[in-house]
């Protein structure tokens, strides 16, 4: 599955190192491992469309944490049963980073 669409790329902020307040940052995409426990919420991208920043959650860190991740690594990752990382096609692009951080279990 293609993780980044033109719409997602156009709506995602460029890397700013957290200079925008969380209540102003939109989560433009949600990626998840269908056979694992990781979920990535995209908020920023670099110009090469690989280095990304956002909120990451897993069974080991259910409260989540902010940090970088690589779109290429997600695109090439294979989990159990050989399934790759998926993009939540129903994600609305209106949810703010603050909303996800304040209530992570709602979006996990």
pLDDT digits (tens, 9 = 90+) for 6-42: 999 999 999 875 678 889 999 999 999 999 889 999 9
Output the pTM of the full model. Answer: 0.93
Question: CB within 8 A of 79, min separation 6: which ones?
Answer: 33, 34, 35, 36, 85
Q: Which of 108, 8, 105, 106 is nearest to 49 (CA)?
A: 8
Q: Judge contact between 66 and 57, C-beta under 8 A.
A: no
Q: Judge contact between 34 and 89, C-beta under 8 A.
A: no
């Amino acid at each position: 599955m293609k993780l980044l669409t033109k719409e997602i790329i156009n709506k995602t902020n460029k890397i700013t190192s957290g200079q925008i307040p969380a209540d102003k940052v939109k989560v433009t995409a949600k990626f998840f491992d269908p056979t694992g426990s990781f979920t990535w919420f995209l908020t920023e991208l670099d110009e090469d469309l690989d280095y990304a920043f956002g909120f990451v959650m897993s069974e080991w860190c259910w409260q989540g944490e902010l940090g970088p991740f690589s779109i290429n690594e997600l695109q090439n990752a294979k989990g159990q049963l050989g399934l790759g990382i998926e993009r939540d096609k129903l994600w609305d692009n209106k949810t703010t980073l603050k909303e996800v951080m304040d209530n992570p279990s709602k979006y996990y």
